[in-house]
Amino acid sequence: MTEQTPASGDELAAFYRYKATQAGVILEHDDEVLVEQAAATLDLIAALQRDLDEHGVMLVGATGTAKVNPASVEIRQQRTALAKLTTLVGHRIEVAASGVRPVGNQPGSTRGPYGVETAKRKGTSPNRRRGA
């Protein structure tokens, strides 16, 4: 069985609502917000793609110099955001359906918590001061 990629934000939102219903989960407000953000991101990606299709990856400025179409940079960022949002929404539905509380980093997060310890310097006295 192959799944078809939703073509619009509304289709994506309907997909995740259906997925939640199939899992027996009622989406909470924060889940709905994530779904709506993912839907808006997909619509923005479609608009950016239309711009790229119409104007191309490179633009010619008023002075005749070629530059990268800003839409090509933005679409890459939006695709990354969409991947993180959809991963997070899918994970939250699966966790809610399983009833198991997640531990550790959540999918879609870019980094774990920062826990930095200073390294001890070898061969120095802890009481020594610079210039003394």
Kindly indicate the confidence band of residue 77, based on its pLDDT and cuts at 50, 70 and 90.
very high
Q: Sketch the domain layout of the chain as residue ranges.
A: 9-98
Closest CA to 55 of 7, 47, 63: 47
**Count of helix runs (H) and strand runs (E) in the chain:** 3, 2
Residue pair 13/36 in contact (Cβ under 8 Å)? The answer is yes
Q: Tell me: the pLDDT tens digits for 25-59?
A: 999 999 999 999 999 999 999 999 999 999 999 99
